[in-house]
Amino acid sequence: MHISNFDLYRDLLKEKSGLTLTPDKAYLIESRLMPIAKKWGYTSLDNMCMALRGVPDPNLIKDIVEAMTTNETSFFRDTKPFDLFRDHILPAMMKDRASARKIRIWCAAASSGQEPYSLAMLLKEKGAALANWQIDILGTDISTDILETAKRGEYSQFEVQRGLPITMLMKYFEQKGERWIIKDDIKKMVKYQYFNLLDNMAALGRFDIVFCRNVLIYFDKETKGEILGRIAKQMAPDGMLLLGGAETVMGITETFKAVPDKRGLYMRADSPALASTSAATAVK
């Protein structure tokens, strides 16, 4: 791709979304916009650029901005939430549900699948300890295109290197040319389904763990509170909610409370488990 064309995409994104594209992210243009170019019948990104320099179709611009802005994700994104899942959430759930042996997990913005598959890999690492458990992971997203990508579980060399330890790549992926495909035993642990967070959640059922990271930022304050309120209704009383690093419930809803000393982790305000942790913290 010509440098001048990189500049065009960078300026377009800045103007339409406020997203800043630095040169070391140039690979994102390639991997994300080639499918858009194909969809619109352009043989290359340089060709698509010529169209953009003329009078471009507003829908083409919409497709490009959507492809570049949403779905920013990686395996084990931000690391900490997954450490929390492995070291705190999962042990607590395995203790509390030792008789029912059932855990339901919801990734509310599953995107191209990295988050649910990261959780599935961590579950797999538990090995025999979870052998007779029924663990469901539901991944939902508002983009049907991205859900198809998630279902394929096929990733580029760049994607499998951001956040994913090499030992996990060796264990849980198969190589096909330049692509890396998540193995079937991990793939079949996750179900994907289209879902808009503004829709009625009742049909999704009840969850023990909800990952809802970096998606509420797209909504205004009132809608955020309303969505969180409805998520709370879908959660077990001792269920655990993970929000993105820059997100909070403070000043947005009273239905969730932050778990002390566990950044990003929330429980229902009426949770008996939270009452006992607060008491423990107070005593300390």
Partner 1 sequence: MKCLVVDDSRVVRKVARRIVEDLGFACDEAEDGQKAYEACLQAMPDAILLDWNMPVMSGIDFLEKLRALPGGQTPKVVFCTTENDMAHIQRAMTAGANEYIMKPFDSDIIKSKFSQIGLIEG
Q: Which stretch binds partner 1 (CB under 8 A): 13-21, 102-110, 156-164, 192-200?
A: 156-164
Phi first, then psi: what are they for 194, rounded to 5°? -65, 135
Residue 249, classed as helix, strand or coil, is coil
Would you count residue 183 as binding partner 1 (CB under 8 A)?
no
Given 17, 34, 40, 163, the residue binding partner 1 (CB under 8 A):
163
Would you count residue 161 as binding partner 1 (CB under 8 A)?
yes
Size of site (CB under 8 A) for partner 1: 18
Assess contact for 268 and 256: CB atoms under 8 A.
Answer: yes
Unique residue bearing structure tokens 């096929």: 154
Considering only CA atoms, which of 116, 88, 118, 87 is closest in space to residue 104? 116
Would you count residue 170 as binding partner 1 (CB under 8 A)?
yes
Unique residue bearing structure tokens 């377009």: 12
Would you count residue 19 as binding partner 1 (CB under 8 A)?
no
Would you count residue 2 as binding partner 1 (CB under 8 A)?
no
Given 4, 44, 134, 175, the residue binding partner 1 (CB under 8 A):
175
In the complex with partner 1, the residue whose CB is nearer, 20 or 79, is 79
Would you count residue 59 as binding partner 1 (CB under 8 A)?
no
Q: Which positions from 71 through 90 interact with partner 1, judged by CB under 8 A?
A: 74, 79-80
Considering only CA atoms, which of 181, 90, 197 is closest in space to residue 140? 197
Would you count residue 43 as binding partner 1 (CB under 8 A)?
no
Task: Give the length of the chain.
Answer: 284
In the complex with partner 1, the residue whose CB is nearer, 225 or 264, is 264
Considering only CA atoms, which of 111, 144, 113, 119 is closest in space to residue 218? 111
Q: Residue 21 and residue 12: Cα distance in Å, rounded? A: 10
Q: Which residues bind partner 1 (CB under 8 A)?
A: 24-25, 27, 74, 79-80, 157-158, 161-163, 165-167, 169-170, 175, 178
